[in-house]
Amino acid sequence: MSDTEQYPEPEADITTFADLGIEERVLRALSDVGYESPSPIQAATIPPLMAGNDVVGLAQTGTGKTAAFAVPILSRIDTTQKRPQALVLAPTRELALQVAEAFGKYSAHIPGLQVLPIYGGQAYGVQLSGLRRGAQIIVGTPGRVIDHLEKGTLDLSHLDYLVLDEADEMLKMGFQDDVERILADTPEYKQVALFSATMPAAIRKISKQYLHDPVEITVKTKTSTAPNITQRYVQVAHQRKLDALTRVLEVETFEAMIIFVRTKQATEDLAERLRARGFSAAAINGDIVQAQRERTIGQLKKGTLDILVATDVAARGLDVDRISHVVNYDIPHDTESYVHRIGRTGRAGRTGDALLFVAPRERHLLKAIEKATRQPLTEMQLPSVEDVNAQRVAKFGDSITESLSSENLALFRGLIEDYEREHDVPLADIAAALAVLSRDGESFLMPPEPPPAPRREREPRAERPARKFDDAPKVGKEGQELATYRIAVGKRHRVAPGAIVGAIANEGGLRRSDFGHISIRPDHSLVELPVDLADETLEALRRTRISGVLIQLTLDDGPPGQRPPRDGGKFDRKPRRERY
């Protein structure tokens, strides 16, 4: 590397975005989303990128890397050219969508600019339409970018800017071959920015081979979360999250709350469900017009609204002192988002509470957050049915006490006394009947939890195909039992083990440790995965494509006569079996 620079923590007023030579329309957009001064990685990275240098940025997540590369690209993009000029590669579809949304926000004042996310799991039609319209900025996952390159629907021959975001994560997920193939298909003279939390040998190799005399910038940050914010997490299955959230809202004392979800549609859906359960909730997302956004935030500030359901980008720049709680209903896939989210509470010297919902298969994301922020999260037990009912009874009593001071009390007392004389009904029964009437047919107390249902077996254990290679159960790296699955891509489709791991991990929400052996055959491949994959994961994987081919994932019965020796030797010399 030609230049290596160390940048410390920023001082109070180290610089402003206006000092960095950013295009005026981009500056206006940054101001709109509430950005005031650049983070260390932004202050260090934007100038060399604006000057046309290749850059390697080494920094932990949570440091503002997206703006560090998006702002220079947007400041120099040519909107008169309807072709891909910039490509950002991201390891997951969630990160690709987040980066694309950020580009959209930062380019709000640049007419004619098109940003297109392309990733596995989305229909090709939407992506093909966007490519035909001439999107200038493409944000994609490696597997789907290669699919479009092979189909001839994505032309990178005139690419000016290439960004590898979370490069070390892409390599961990098995995308190294894909990344190098994409790099090889781009023009030699382009500007490249590589961002990574670490610098393993593979990243160093890519930097040396594909970047020209890059500036290496290392930013070391301290813990990014405020010490006055209490951070907790709840382990809860995806299908029980709404019930868990309801219990928290009923028992936890809060002034105002932001609930973060991943998608725009989820903001509307969750806000509607909360309103149906009697909570004062509203949604904000990127589709909401500015006037409505301002009205909603005004209601939150005045106290006429208590709960805001938001996406990351929609909540940027939001500063409301009365927000006492932040709930991560959907766990963020990068710690930068987590830090930004919980920073919405604990303002103006107040204390704040941050609560994170974690599904069993998302514990690796929890560990990543704890590692990056260097702050352990405390596990919280969900309020029990008894806790919820005790709180409902207490609130019922409080509402009676509050109503005793109403100016309408004398009027209703007279009506009740008249009813008592006419119908000879005790006052207590009348009061109870009015309480029932106020519930509008809804039950007052939460019913007891049903006993856990017995686990349903998909197949009798004797017929499970997990034993096809040998008689002993297959066991993954973390002790989970594995089964062998068949996918409809093989050697004739020119697939590599890394492409299989990357596509299945990305679309199914799996980790590298969930994979056992991969055996690539001429027209299909065999992959060892956990035997107890959730139904939604199986459904997502059945819709997954690799190299444009639907993989049609199914459990494999295995052909007869191909068992390996009991000593663990290979059953033949081909195909090669690799462990991921």
Residue 457 lies in a domain: no
First to last CA, the chain: 31
- Residues 578 and 491: their CA atoms lie apart, in Å, by 14
pLDDT digits (tens, 9 = 90+) for 99-142: 998 999 999 999 999 999 998 878 888 899 999 999 999 999 99
pLDDT of residue 472: 47
Residue 399 lies in a domain: no
Closest CA to 233 of 124, 349, 329, 115: 329
Q: Give the total number of structural domains in the chain.
A: 4
Tell the residue number behind the tokens 């229909």, with chain if given. 123
Amino acid identity, position 335: T
pLDDT of residue 432: 84
pLDDT digits (tens, 9 = 90+) for 361-407: 888 889 888 887 888 899 998 887 777 777 777 777 878 888 888 88
483 and 373 in one domain?
no
Residue 398 lies in a domain: no
pLDDT of residue 309: 95
Categorize the per-residue pLDDT at 317 as very low, low, confident or very high, splitting at 50, 70 and 90.
Answer: low
CATH number at residue 505: 3.30.70.330
pLDDT of residue 556: 85
The tokens for 461 are 């254990």
pLDDT of residue 128: 94
In this structure, the number of other CB atoms found within 10 A of the CB of residue 196 comes to 23
- Residues 392 and 384: their CA atoms lie apart, in Å, by 13
Residue 283 lies in a domain: yes
Tell the residue number behind the tokens 């109870």, with chain if given. 432
365 and 426 in one domain?
no
CATH number at residue 338: 3.40.50.300
233 and 175 in one domain?
no
144 and 66 in one domain?
yes
Q: Is the pLDDT of residue 567 over 90?
A: no
Among residues of the chain, what percentage have pLDDT more than 70? 84
Categorize the per-residue pLDDT at 353 as very low, low, confident or very high, splitting at 50, 70 and 90.
Answer: very high
- Exposed, middle or buried: residue 114 (CB in 10 Å: 0-12, 13-18, 19+)? middle
303 and 419 in one domain?
no
Q: Is the pLDDT of residue 580 over 50?
A: no
Residue 224 lies in a domain: no
Alpha-carbon distances, residue 557 vs 297, 485, 569 (angstroms): 57, 9, 20
Q: Is the pLDDT of residue 154 over 90?
A: yes
pLDDT of residue 464: 42
User: Among the listed ranges 53-62, 347-356, 440-449, 481-490, which one has the minimum average pLDDT value?
Assistant: 440-449
pTM of the model: 0.49
The tokens for 292 are 């409505």
Tell which of 195, 219, 243 closes a domain.
Answer: 219
Edge-to-edge strand order for the sheet containing 3-7? 3-7, 215-219, 55-58, 191-196, 161-164, 86-89, 137-140, 115-118
Provide the CB-side half-sphere exposure for 376 (13 A, CA): 3
205 and 327 in one domain?
no
Residue 251 lies in a domain: yes
Alpha-carbon distances, residue 373 vs 42, 92, 226, 334, 482 (angstroms): 19, 21, 10, 11, 33
- Residues 234 and 227: their CA atoms lie apart, in Å, by 20
Residue range of the domain that includes 75: 3-219
DSSP 92-149: SHHHHHHHHHHHHHHTTT-TT--EEEE-TTS-HHHHHHHHHHT-SEEEE-HHHHHHHH
433 and 315 in one domain?
no
Mean pLDDT of the chain: 81
pLDDT digits (tens, 9 = 90+) for 237-249: 888 899 899 989 9
Q: What is the arithmetic mean of pLDDT over 275-296?
A: 86
- Residues 460 and 454: their CA atoms lie apart, in Å, by 15
pLDDT digits (tens, 9 = 90+) for 446-470: 677 666 556 555 555 444 444 343 4
Q: What is the 3-state secondary structure (H, E, C) of 39-69?
A: CHHHHHHHHHHHCCCCEEEECCCCCCHHHHH
267 and 188 in one domain?
no
8 A C-beta contact, residue 285 and residue 310: yes
377 and 415 in one domain?
no
Among residues of the chain, what percentage have pLDDT more than 90? 33
8 A C-beta contact, residue 14 and residue 37: yes
Longest Cα–Cα distance of the chain, Å, equals 96
436 and 527 in one domain?
no
528 and 433 in one domain?
no
pLDDT of residue 561: 43
Tell the residue number behind the tokens 């990543």, with chain if given. 368
- Residues 160 and 163: their CA atoms lie apart, in Å, by 10
The torsion angle over the Cα atoms of residues 105, 106, 109 and 113, rounded to 10 degrees, is: -90
Q: What is the arithmetic mean of pLDDT over 566-576?
A: 37
202 and 297 in one domain?
no
The tokens for 302 are 């005045």
The tokens for 388 are 């919820």
- Residues 55 and 195: their CA atoms lie apart, in Å, by 8
Tell which of 194, 219, 244 closes a domain.
Answer: 219
pLDDT digits (tens, 9 = 90+) for 225-238: 677 889 999 999 88
**Between 30 and 548, whose confidence is greater?**
30
Residues sharing a CB contact under 8 Å with residue 41, sequence separation 6 or more, in sequence order: 7, 57, 59, 63, 64, 65, 68, 217, 219
The radius of gyration of the chain from alpha carbons, rounded to an integer in Å, stands at: 28
pLDDT of residue 368: 85
pLDDT of residue 88: 96
Residue 298 lies in a domain: yes
Residue 448 lies in a domain: no
